[in-house]
Amino acid sequence: MLLVHGMWDLIDTAELLASELVTNAYRHSSGSYSLRLRGAGRNRVRVGVWDSNPEIPAPFGGGVMEESCVLAERGRGLQLVRECAESWGAYPIRGGLPGQGGKVLWVECTVPPTRDRAGQYQAV
**Mode of pairing for the β-strands spanning 114-115 and 121-122:** antiparallel
39, 32 Cβ separation under 8 angstroms: no
pLDDT by residue for the chain (124 residues), tens only, comes to 777 777 778 888 899 999 999 999 999 998 889 999 988 877 889 999 999 999 998 778 765 555 545 555 666 777 788 788 999 999 998 876 665 789 999 999 988 766 555 555 555 4
Burial-class residue 37 by CB neighbours within 10 Å (0-12, 13-18, 19+): middle
102 CB-contact burial (10 Å; exposed 0-12 / middle 13-18 / buried 19+): buried
Using H for helix, E for strand and C for coil, what is the string for the chain? CCCCCCCHHHHHHHHHHHHHHHHHHHHHCCCCEEEEEEECCCCEEEEEEEECCCCCCHHHCCCCCCHHHHHCCCCCHHHHHHHHCCEEEEEEECCCCCCCCEEEEEEEEECCCEECCCCCEECC
| Domain edges within the chain | 8-112
pTM summary value: 0.76
As a CATH number, domain 8-112 is 3.30.565.10
Residue 68 is predicted with a pLDDT of 45
Q: Can you give the pLDDT at residue 69? A: 53
